[in-house]
Amino acid sequence: MKRRDLLKALAAAPLFSHAGNLLAAPATNAKLLFVFLRGGYDANNLLVPIGSDFYYAARPNIAIPKPGADNGALALNADWALHPALRDSIYPLFNSGQAAFVPFAGTTDLTRSHFETQDTIELGQSLDGRRDFRSGFMNRLAQSLNADKTSRAISFTDQLPLIFQGGAQVPNMALRSLGKSGIDERQSKIIAAMYQNTSLQKPVSEGFVVRDDVMKELSGEMQAANRNAISTKGFALEAQRIAKLMKDKYNIGFVDVGGWDTHVGQGAGTGYLAGRFDELGRGLAAFSQEMGSEWRNTLVVVVSEFGRTFRENGNRGTDHGHGSVFWVLGGGIRGKQVAGEQVAISQPNLFQNRDMPVLNEYRSVLGGLLQRTFSLSTAQLDHVFAGARPTELGVV
């Protein structure tokens, strides 16, 4: 094996975090899938403030028409409606009490930088102190639950994200393009032998077990896809694969979805952003269906680093903003509500006369959801989000 090929092979091999009983199910029934929409999605066209004349004046070309119009919004209550692209996916979940939304949510970080704000949320640390880039909040969650032997965490990404950096080693494996492994059995043995009797022997060995386990678990589904048995694509297919693994083997998962930076031509009821919502919604609906009976024990949280400017720009798009909308889904939640602190959608209530304000700070919102979902003690919650006071939304 050439050195160049060896390095590529090592980069592709996941490292596993825990020794022993790799195929055992988690000891707790509660499950969490955290979905990160990278790029800052336009939450104002996701959760449409249909009662606000200011919304329609501020967006003459990209506002979602009111309910009842062609490609009109889907009414949730007297004040809010949902983007029409989610009619067949998230809207039925909302009406059945399995989806809720938290507007005016986000971080108080004001940089409006994709990378800076993504880091802020993934770290989950107070902005008042020095950042520790070796400690993401989902890793700290895994550590807290591991004390009770209840956590099996995995990142469904090409590389381990910042949110999972930390003391608990977590495997990562992207599922969007599964196929034949780049490392055959002979090469796996060579690599494993190279690390024998070293500190990396166990994680390398267990990493190959994870890879083989995932490939074995999904082999039947991949064969069906090759015969065009699965009609969905992109995130919808990936979400089904994630569910196949999470319902039996893992209880904490992370996945990120890109393509949300809509400076130009984002569209309204149809168009670019509508297409992204459609794919995301179908994926989350497919995830809920694939989870089967485990859906009642599952919490899905969808966030983005920030929202977009409330007014459309000269290119019929939106620019980097501030407050956003979090999604909360699950078979056992108290959904069918728009939760959290809110204010009227009007120009005087804009943040810096341009953005939705942040009234529901993300650490408090997530802390409240996680505390309820995993029955975290005060000490465990403080380990995940030090100094944050959990918000009781009445959703979980």
Please write the tens of the pLDDT for every residue from 213-250: 544 554 444 343 222 222 234 898 899 999 999 999 99
Residue 156's nearest CA partner among 249, 253, 240 is: 253
Domain range summary for the chain, segments of one domain joined by +? 3-384
Q: Mean pLDDT, consecutive 10-residue segments, the chain of 396 residues?
A: 44 39 50 97 98 97 97 97 98 98 96 95 94 96 80 91 94 72 53 64 54 49 31 74 94 95 97 96 97 97 98 97 98 98 97 98 98 96 97 96
Residue 254's nearest CA partner among 326, 141, 157, 329 is: 157
Domain 3-384 belongs to what topology? Alkaline Phosphatase, subunit A (3.40.720)
Q: Is the pTM of this model over 0.85?
A: no
Task: Classify residue 162 by its DSSP letter.
Answer: G
> What values do phi and psi take at 151, rounded to 5?
-115, 130
> What values do phi and psi take at 100, rounded to 5?
-145, 165
Q: What is the DSSP string of 15-84?
A: -----S-TTPPPSSS-EEEEEEETT---GGGTEE-TT-HHHHHH-TTTPPPPTTSTT--EESSSS-EE-G
Query: What pLDDT was estimated at residue 49?
Result: 98
For 77-119, write each residue's pLDDT tens digit: 999 999 999 999 999 999 999 999 999 999 999 999 999 999 9
Distance CA 261, CA 240 (A): 25
Q: Which residues is 256 bridged to in the sheet?
A: 36
Rg (alpha carbons) of the chain, rounded to whole number: 21
Q: Which residues is 308 bridged to in the sheet?
A: 320
Query: What pLDDT was estimated at residue 170?
Result: 93
Distance CA 58, CA 53 (A): 9
